[in-house]
Chain A
Amino acid sequence: MSVSTIFYNTIVKRNSVFVTSIFAGAFAFGVGFDIGVTAFWDRWNRGKQWKDLRQKHVQEE
């Protein structure tokens, strides 16, 4: 049985399962997207944000 048939039979066949998995997928996607964008932002601005600078600042004081 191919992947597409398994996908159809397990998820799509019942609309309740399909819609529920769409909402669950949206939740997971939202969380993952948030984590991904935040990680990218922190990497892009490495050494510029307060949470990176704070350690240096507090040590100097």
Chain B
Amino acid sequence: MVTVLSDPAQTCPPSGREASLQRPLVSFARPLPAVCFSTPFPTTATRSYPTSHRKPAGPTTGIFQHRLLHTSVAVKDAPNVPDFSGYQAKSEATNRGLSYFMIGSLGVLTATAAKSTVTEFLSTMSASADVLALAKVEIELASIPEGKNVILKWRGKPVFIRHRTQEEIEEARNTDWKALRDPESDESRTKKPEWLVMLGSAHAMDLTTISLNLEIPQHDFNDAEGKLVVG
């Protein structure tokens, strides 16, 4: 719509308000093709501008020249760079040490969390405490005389409980157990020397040549009630 601002009186016949514009508002060096519009003019370009602050312009020469050289100073974006020295690290070595310390600390926390996650997930697969409590077997120790065996069934397997005599204990303890095929001391296999609790696992029993000691199930003595709890 700028074209409208070129001298409308040049080629177009003056009509109405346009005729009052004696001079072009913008003088283009290269004369643009004049566009004539039939009145009424549709756009805002046809508003009548106040003429009071218009600079008087000379007649158009028609000579256009590219201005390739100019002497104006190039404007910098930020001619005054702020002072960042207050933000810079006092000591690079301290900075580096602190950075790696933070990295290492985060690694420690992550490793702990990962280990905890795996452990907790695996513990969901094991039997819960109430199930384990049901799977216990109690026996009154007073009902087993010295030198006698009792066989219990515990989790589908036989458990042998022997009330050992003093000679048996001494014999077991004096044996050179380190020379045995499966060396285990009698002290490590019994919680109380007079009670030997062994689990008859089918795996060990079926072997024609028993090469391993019978497994010791988890067991506890309830001294207050004189009971043995297997499980």
Chains A and B bind each other:
yes
Identify the A interface with B (CB < 8 A): 2-5, 7-8, 11-12, 18-19, 21-23, 25-26, 29-30, 33, 58, 61
Given contacts A4-B101, A26-B108, 4 further A-B contacts (CB under 8 A): A22-B107, A22-B111, A23-B111, A25-B108
Q: Establish whether residues A4 and B108, one from each chain, have CB atoms under 8 Å apart when the complex forms.
A: no
Beta-carbon contacts under 8 Å, B90-123 to A: 91, 93-94, 96-98, 100-101, 104, 107-109, 111-112, 115-116
Question: Is the pair A26, B101 in contact by a Cβ cutoff of 8 Å?
Answer: no
Q: Are A12 and B93 in contact (CB under 8 A)?
A: no
B224: CB under 8 A from chain A? yes
Q: B93 touching A2 by the CB < 8 A rule?
A: yes
Cα separation A19 to B104 with both chains bound (whole Å): 8
Which residues of B are found within 8 Å of A7, using beta-carbon distances? 97, 100-101
Within the complex, what minimum Cβ distance (angstroms) separates B97 from chain A? 2
Taking CB atoms, residues of chain A closer than 8 Å to B96 are: 4, 8
B93/A5 in contact, CB under 8 A: yes
- Interchain CB contact (< 8 A) of A30 among B93, B104, B107, B112: B112
Instruction: Report B-chain residues with C-beta under 8 Å of the C-beta of A23.
Output: 111
> For the complex, would chain A's binding face be called helix, strand, loop or mixed by DSSP majority?
helix
With a CB–CB cut-off of 8 A, which chain A residues contact B104? 11-12, 18, 21-22, 25
Which B residue sits closest to A5, measured CB to CB?
Answer: B93
Chain A nearest Cβ from B95, distance in angstroms: 8
Q: Give chain B interface residues in 55-105, CB to chain A under 8 Å.
A: 91, 93-94, 96-98, 100-101, 104
Set B91, B97, B108: member contacting A22, Cβ < 8 A: B108
Contacts A26-B115, A30-B116 known; A5 to B97 CB distance under 8 Å? yes
Q: Which residues of B contact A11 (CB under 8 A)?
A: 100, 104
Given contacts A18-B104, A21-B104, contact A4 B98 (CB under 8 A): yes
